[in-house]
Amino acid sequence: MKINENTQISGKKIVLVPYDRCHVLKYHEWMKSEELQALTASEPLSLQQEYEMQQSWRLDEKKCTFIVLDSEVYNSNHHDEISSMVGDVNLFFNEPDFPHSAEIEIMIAEPWARGQGRGKEALCSMMRYGTDKLGIQRFTAKVGLANNTSLRLFEKIGFREISRSEIFQEVTLELPVSEELLKTLILQTPCYSIEDHIK
């Protein structure tokens, strides 16, 4: 999505930057992991396919993607994004009948970065950006039945199950945007700020 190509979102534990060509090699290494493939229901791609996907997502107005950086590593390593990468967070506008609805995904790929609140802050920051800047009125999420960590994370924020598929082994969750949700997102992201992303 072109709208976020020069946008950086900073928080307490995380920094979100647009998914750029320089991130592809490390992202590709992550996605060789069978664990991550299973958790994200992804198929492994060749490096060339990964570069092509990054470029197509950058231009696709129905996909908004940020790389999640660890803020401590980022700030102590002279803003080196590659060494700071821990995951990604995405919005997909894939319901033509509901243009203000978006599916949200979060992945914390680095095992050392999990279980310490980075995923929650990245998710809430992306949701705040989505409501403020993209006009989202409803969020959905699809989570693997076996991915209990992600299910708990989404449920803590307020998502509720609306369907499940035994065939695809996933649960679909939904959360309408309300005044209560907006207050929750502000409380969960006290250090939230948007600035220009300087490459």
Reading the block at residue 148, the tokens are 């209990």
Are the C-beta atoms of residues 79 and 17 closer than 8 Å to each other? no
* Among candidate residues 105, 172, 101, 173, the one with its CA nearest the CA of residue 138: 101
Domain spans in the chain, listed from the N-terminal domain onward:
2-193
Please report which helix (H) or strand (E) contains residue 131, including its range.
helix 118-133
- Say which residues have a Cβ less than 8 Å from residue 95's Cβ, sequence separation at least 6: 101
Residue written as tokens 């999990």?
Answer: 114
The packing angle between helices 179-188 and 118-133, to 10°, is 130
26-36 pLDDT, tens digit each: 999 999 988 88
Task: Give percent helix, percent strand, percent coil of the chain, each to the nearest 5.
Answer: 40, 30, 30
**Whole-model pTM?**
0.96
Q: Amino acid letter at 57? A: W
Residues 156/184, Cβ–Cβ less than 8 Å: no
Q: What is the pLDDT of residue 54?
A: 95
**Three-state DSSP state, 198:** coil
Q: What's the CATH fold of domain 2-193?
A: Aminopeptidase (3.40.630)
| pLDDT value at residue 137 | 97
Q: What is the pLDDT of residue 42?
A: 84
Q: How far is Cα 149 from Cα 103, in angstroms, rounded to an integer?
A: 18
> pLDDT digit string (tens) for 42-69?
888 999 999 999 999 999 999 999 999 9
For helices 118-133 and 148-157, the axis angle rounded to 10 degrees is: 50
**Rounded Cα–Cα distance for residues 75 and 62 (Å):** 31
What is the token pair recorded at 96? 């033509």
All residue ranges of the chain with pLDDT < 70 are none
